[in-house]
């Protein structure tokens, strides 16, 4: 008897396993279909979104500028060859020539090469600082807006405080004391960049949390953390994206000032950012020697990138926030 | 204000980073070179061996007496920070005052035009132009202006706030001479900051113009000028004032760069020097003064807001 029982048992087991397998397979295929449908839906939405964005001339122009600069930064070795490393004082501060269209810097390096590579450092720092600032700003905005009362009071005061302090002396003092490394520069830039985001996110959370579905979620017993993560965050996320792009713009700008004050960070392979190139041109009085092609290009590139991200950011804001639409 | 001072204390005293390193030659913290004795002495002198709470109390006690500590490097060190800052404050205030007045005036003029004619070619040109100016780093703008208008075409002085022989001029010429020297710095300021006012005014005008009372004003037969001056502007200028709270932080930042580039002996130039030699007491003193300045400016803007808002004024 025991053996039979065991036999039935295994057969049940076997059939059960087969059934489970079948369910798993069908479940998987169902999920795959759902996923594919969702992906196409997302893709369609994305395409629609992109079309809308490209329809906005400002955003489209910004996108083109950014794409161009990211391409230049990545393809730098292909465009101008390897980054110069051979320090040669005899070739320093040369006026523009055929070999060096923008002349050479104080180390004898080709300015064109420096400028093309410079975007790597400037844009990289902009991206990372923006991510850090978004994490900080979004968290503060969510918590302040959702919990309200004393929490909101405290966080909002802190936000206002960091919003009004003069940003340049603040980042200068931070980086001067902490020493200039990638981490400290990003920390300093993020510290002055998060408040605007926190403010905007908080305002958005205030309107979202009054909606009915939040009340319903609470009625079925969802916790605060769950509501924040699953219901409120997705609703403010589009704004976070727009803010992130705008923050990259201001981060690149801030980095340029830090570097111009001699507190810049050199990228891997001692690559200089645009701000550092401008600083060296200034310190070596390039303009007084008439070498304006040494000083002008880094500034133009900073302006274009800052402008590009700002235009894309404003465009995104307009597409995502219909209330702003009529301003166009 | 207590918050600002505390933050200032926190930055200099609590963050990692060793101020004694600046004064001692590199590598001299090595015991064999006797550097550590000197270091220990410095640490005692600055009270760095005291617990943090004691230092906090001492810091505020000093602050209450207007004592910001002594500089490390400026004029061979030991010079009181407050004594270095005070004479430079007035120069900076003149620059910032002139620059803000010019920026505000131009910003309001441009903002009014582009708000009234939004979507037209003028509006697009103004919006793009101010946005480009806003994206340009001020150090670059100022140096390029010097290069173009003081070097290639030498019509403006490249640096300083007065001519070398200014003391021989009569008072009126002296003032004119100073204004002449301030032209390029102020122009840099206007180019990089005018977007603050022109864009906020444009946006708030855009919000104001579709209102019903504007239609009424038009129906009453008021001219465009009257509509703007009597009905649109009083409402539209309030957001501009609110936006200026953020603008003041930029004023200080702009002044630092512009003063260094144009060799104007103000607080900004001091910041540059202090940064180069890592003079922390001086740097933190400047930061404190600058932040206090911004807070005061914001308070003034708040009072102005009350005055300019008719609803509040008459209540």
Helix (H) or strand (E) holding B224: helix B224-226
Domain range for B191: 86-286+293-314
Confidence of residue B309 (pLDDT cuts 50, 70, 90): confident
Q: In terms of domains, do B179 and B42 share one?
A: no
Q: What is the dihedral of CA A42, A44, A49, A53, to 10 degrees?
A: 140
Q: In terms of domains, do B308 and B216 share one?
A: yes
Yes or no: say if A112 and A100 are a contact pair by the CB < 8 Å rule.
Answer: yes
Q: What is the pLDDT of residues B137-152, one digit of tens each?
A: 888 888 888 888 777 7
**Alpha carbon separation from B205 to A311, A314, B209 (Å, rounded):** 21, 18, 6
Q: Which has more pLDDT, A166 or B82? A: A166
> Is there a contact between B139 and A303 if contact means CB atoms under 8 Å apart?
no
Yes or no: say if A124 and A267 are a contact pair by the CB < 8 Å rule.
Answer: yes
At A36, phi and psi to the nearest 5? Answer: -65, -40
Tell me the three state secondary structure of residue B152. Answer: helix
Q: Which of B151, B206, B271 sits opposite A169 (nearest CB)?
A: B271
Q: Which of B15, B287, B291 sits opposite A178 (nearest CB)?
A: B15
Q: Which residue of B has its CA nearest to A327?
A: B206
Q: What is the Cα–Cα distance from A284 to A261, expressed in whole angstroms?
A: 14
Q: In terms of domains, do B99 and B193 share one?
A: yes
Q: Which of B137, B206, B253 sits opposite A166 (nearest CB)?
A: B253
B217 belongs to a structural domain: yes
A248 shares contact with chain B (CB less than 8 Å): no
For B191, half-sphere exposure in the C-beta direction (CA atoms, 13 angstrom radius) is: 21
Q: What is the Cα–Cα distance from A193 to A180, expressed in whole angstroms?
A: 18
Q: What is the Cα–Cα distance from B248 to B238, expressed in whole angstroms?
A: 16
Q: With 90 as the cut, is the pLDDT of residue A131 above it? A: yes
Q: What is the Cα–Cα distance from A158 to A138, expressed in whole angstroms?
A: 14
Cα A265–chain centre separation: 18
Domain definitions of chain A by residue range: 1-55, 57-324
The predicted structure's pLDDT at residue B4: 62
Yes or no: say if A280 and A260 are a contact pair by the CB < 8 Å rule.
Answer: no
A110 forms bridges with which residues in the sheet?
A: A104
Q: In terms of domains, do B172 and B50 share one?
A: no
Q: Which residue of B has its CA nearest to A253?
A: B137
> Is there a contact between A168 and B253 if contact means CB atoms under 8 Å apart?
yes
Q: What is the pLDDT of residues B29-65, one digit of tens each?
A: 443 444 455 555 555 555 555 555 666 666 656 665 5
Closest chain B C-alpha to A324 CA, distance in angstroms: 10
The predicted structure's pLDDT at residue A299: 86
Confidence of residue A129 (pLDDT cuts 50, 70, 90): very high
- Range B166-189 average pLDDT: 77
B70 forms bridges with which residues in the sheet?
A: B80
Closest chain B C-alpha to A218 CA, distance in angstroms: 37
Q: With 90 as the cut, is the pLDDT of residue B269 above it? A: no
Confidence of residue B66 (pLDDT cuts 50, 70, 90): low
Q: In terms of domains, do B63 and B94 share one?
A: no
- How many contacts, defined by CB atoms under 8 Å, are there between A and B? 135
Q: With 70 as the cut, is the pLDDT of residue B74 above it? A: no
> Is there a contact between A299 and B283 if contact means CB atoms under 8 Å apart?
no
Yes or no: say if A198 and A283 are a contact pair by the CB < 8 Å rule.
Answer: no
DSSP state of B309: -
Q: What is the pLDDT of residues A69-94, one digit of tens each?
A: 999 888 877 777 777 777 767 776 77
> Is there a contact between A177 and B11 if contact means CB atoms under 8 Å apart?
yes
Choose the weakest-confidence range: A117-121, A177-181, A309-313, A322-326: A322-326
Q: In terms of domains, do B34 and B123 share one?
A: no
A149 shares contact with chain B (CB less than 8 Å): no
Q: What is the pLDDT of residues A7-62, one digit of tens each?
A: 444 444 555 555 666 676 677 777 777 777 666 666 666 666 666 666 677 788 88
Q: What is the Cα–Cα distance from A31 to A25, expressed in whole angstroms?
A: 10
**Alpha carbon separation from A57 to A54, A309, B200 (Å, rounded):** 6, 14, 21
Confidence of residue A114 (pLDDT cuts 50, 70, 90): confident
Q: In terms of domains, do B63 and B204 share one?
A: no
> Is there a contact between B294 and A262 if contact means CB atoms under 8 Å apart?
no
For chain B, what is the total number of helices (H) and then of strands (E)? Answer: 14, 0
**Alpha carbon separation from B277 to A211, B19, B47 (Å, rounded):** 55, 11, 22
Yes or no: say if A282 and A261 are a contact pair by the CB < 8 Å rule.
Answer: no
What pTM was estimated for this model as a whole?
0.77
Q: In terms of domains, do B182 and B236 share one?
A: yes
- Range B281-285 average pLDDT: 74
Q: In terms of domains, do B51 and B147 share one?
A: no
Q: With 60 as the cut, is the pLDDT of residue B121 above it? A: yes
On chain B, the residues whose CB falls within 8 A of the CB of A177 are 11-12, 15, 17, 280
Q: With 50 as the cut, is the pLDDT of residue A258 above it? A: yes
The predicted structure's pLDDT at residue A134: 92
On chain B, the residues whose CB falls within 8 A of the CB of A278 are 137, 139-140
3-class SS letters over chain A:
CHHHHHHHHHHHHHHHHHHHHHHHHHHHHHHHHHHHHHHHHHHHHHHHHHHHHHHCHHHHHHHHHHHHHHHHHHCHHHHHCCCCCCCCHHHCCCCCCCCCCCCECCCCCEHHHHHHHHHHHHHHHHHHHHHHHHHHHHHHHHHHHHHCHHHHHHHHHHHHHHHHCCHHHHHHHHHHHHCCCHHHHHHHHHHHHHHHHHHHHHHHHHHHCCCHHHHHHHHCCCCHHHHHHHHHHHHHHHHHHHHHHHHHHHHHHHHHHHHHCCCCCCECCCECCHHHHHHHHHHCCCCCCCCHHHHHHHHHHHHHHHHHHHHHHHHHHHHHCHHHHHHC
Chain B interface, mutation test: which of A122, A177, A254, A299, most B Cβ atoms within 10 Å? A177
Q: What is the Cα–Cα distance from B127 to B143, expressed in whole angstroms?
A: 24
Q: Which of B147, B251, B283 sits opposite A292 (nearest CB)?
A: B147
Q: Which of B3, B132, B252 sits opposite A169 (nearest CB)?
A: B252
Check which CATH number belongs to the domain holding B242 and give it.
1.10.3720.10
**CA–CA–CA angle A240, A245, A251 (5° rounding):** 115
> Is there a contact between A263 and B275 if contact means CB atoms under 8 Å apart?
yes
> Is there a contact between A169 and B146 if contact means CB atoms under 8 Å apart?
no
On chain A, the residues whose CB falls within 8 A of the CB of B81 are none
Tell me the three state secondary structure of residue B259. Answer: helix
On chain B, the residues whose CB falls within 8 A of the CB of A274 are none
Contacts 24+ apart (CB under 8 A), A160-164: A160/A195, A161/B3, A161/B4, A162/A191, A162/A192, A162/A194, A162/A195, A163/A195, A163/A196, A163/A199, A163/B245, A163/B246, A163/B249, A164/B245, A164/B246, A164/B248, A164/B249, A164/B294, A164/B295, A164/B298
Chain A interface, mutation test: which of B139, B152, B239, most A Cβ atoms within 10 Å? B139
> Is there a contact between A169 and B253 if contact means CB atoms under 8 Å apart?
yes
Q: With 50 as the cut, is the pLDDT of residue B261 above it? A: yes
- Range B241-263 average pLDDT: 79
B149 belongs to a structural domain: yes
Chain B interface, mutation test: which of A62, A153, A171, A176, most B Cβ atoms within 10 Å? A176
Closest chain A C-alpha to B135 CA, distance in angstroms: 5
- Considering only the top CATH level, what class is A57-324? mainly alpha
> Is there a contact between B143 and A310 if contact means CB atoms under 8 Å apart?
no
Q: Which residue of B has its CA nearest to A300?
A: B136
Yes or no: say if A76 and A117 are a contact pair by the CB < 8 Å rule.
Answer: yes
Q: What is the Cα–Cα distance from B250 to B265, expressed in whole angstroms?
A: 19
Q: What is the Cα–Cα distance from B252 to B272, expressed in whole angstroms?
A: 13
Choose the weakest-confidence range: A7-21, A57-71, B117-131, B152-166: A7-21
B77 belongs to a structural domain: no
Q: Which of B17, B119, B137 sits opposite A257 (nearest CB)?
A: B137
Please determine, for the modelled complex, whether the ipTM score is greater than 0.95. no
Domains of chain B: total: 2
């Amino acid at each position: 008897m025991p053996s039979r029982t065991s036999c039935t048992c295994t057969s049940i087991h076997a059939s059960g396993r087969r059934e489970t397998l079948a369910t798993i397979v069908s479940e998987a295929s169902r999920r795959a279909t759902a996923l594919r449908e969702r992906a196409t839906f997302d893709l369609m939405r994305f395409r629609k979104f992109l079309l809308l964005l490209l329809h906005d001339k400002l955003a489209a122009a910004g996108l083109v500028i950014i794409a161009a600069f990211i391409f230049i930064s990545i393809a730098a070795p292909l465009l101008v060859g390897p980054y110069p490393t051979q320090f040669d004082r005899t070739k320093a501060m040369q006026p523009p020539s055929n070999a060096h269209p923008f002349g050479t810097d104080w180390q004898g390096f080709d300015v064109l090469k420096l400028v093309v590579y410079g975007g790597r450092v400037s844009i990289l720092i902009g991206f990372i600082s923006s991510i850090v600032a978004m994490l900080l700003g979004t968290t503060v905005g969510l918590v302040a807006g959702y919990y309200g009362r004393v929490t909101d009071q405290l966080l909002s005061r802190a936000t206002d405080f960091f919003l009004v302090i003069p940003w340049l002396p603040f980042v200068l003092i931070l980086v001067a004391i902490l020493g200039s490394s990638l981490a400290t520069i990003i920390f300093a830039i993020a510290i002055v960049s998060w408040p605007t985001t926190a403010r905007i996110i908080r305002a958005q959370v205030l309107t979202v949390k009054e909606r009915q579905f939040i009340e319903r979620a609470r009625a079925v017993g969802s916790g605060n953390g769950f509501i924040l993560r699953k219901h409120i965050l997705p609703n403010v996320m589009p704004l976070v994206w727009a803010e992130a792009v705008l923050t990259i713009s201001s981060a690149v700008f801030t980095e340029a000032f830090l570097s111009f004050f001699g507190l810049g960070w050199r990228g891997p392979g001692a690559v200089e950012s645009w701000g550092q190139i401008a600083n060296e041109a200034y310190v070596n009085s390039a303009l007084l020697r008439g070498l304006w092609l040494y000083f002008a290009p880094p500034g133009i590139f900073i302006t274009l990138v800052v402008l590009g991200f700002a235009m894309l950011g404003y465009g995104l804001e307009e597409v995502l926030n219909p209330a702003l639409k009529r301003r166009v | 204000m207590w918050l600002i001072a505390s933050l200032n204390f926190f930055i200099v005293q609590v963050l990692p980073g060793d101020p004694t390193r600046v004064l001692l030659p590199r590598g001299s913290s090595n015991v064999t070179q006797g550097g550590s004795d000197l270091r220990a002495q410095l640490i005692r002198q600055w009270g760095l061996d005291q617990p943090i709470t004691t230092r906090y109390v001492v810091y505020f006690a000093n602050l209450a007496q207007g004592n910001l500590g002594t500089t490390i490097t400026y004029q061979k060190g030991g010079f009181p920070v407050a004594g270095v800052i005070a004479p430079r404050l007035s120069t900076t205030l003149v620059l910032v005052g002139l620059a803000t007045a010019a920026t505000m005036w131009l910003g309001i003029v441009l903002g009014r035009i582009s708000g009234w004619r939004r979507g037209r070619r003028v509006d697009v040109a103004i919006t793009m132009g101010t946005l480009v100016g806003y994206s340009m780093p001020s150090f670059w703008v100022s140096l390029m202006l010097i290069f173009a208008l003081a070097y290639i075409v030498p019509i403006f002085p490249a640096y300083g706030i007065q001519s070398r022989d200014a003391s021989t001029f009569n008072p009126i010429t002296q003032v004119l001479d100073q204004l002449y020297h301030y032209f390029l710095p102020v122009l840099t300021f206007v180019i990089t900051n005018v977007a603050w006012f022109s864009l906020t005014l444009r946006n708030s005008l855009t919000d104001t113009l579709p209102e019903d009372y504007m239609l009424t004003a038009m129906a009453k037969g008021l001219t465009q000028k009257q509509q703007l001056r009597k009905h649109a502007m009083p409402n539209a200028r309030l957001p501009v004032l609110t936006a200026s709270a953020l603008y003041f932080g930029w004023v200080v930042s702009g002044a630092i760069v512009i003063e260094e580039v144009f060799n104007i002996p103000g607080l900004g130039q001091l910041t540059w020097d202090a940064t180069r030699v890592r003079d922390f007491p001086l740097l933190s003193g400047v930061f404190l003064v600058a932040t206090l300045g911004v807070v005061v400016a914001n308070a003034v803007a708040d009072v102005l807001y009350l005055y300019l808002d008719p609803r509040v004024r008459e209540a």
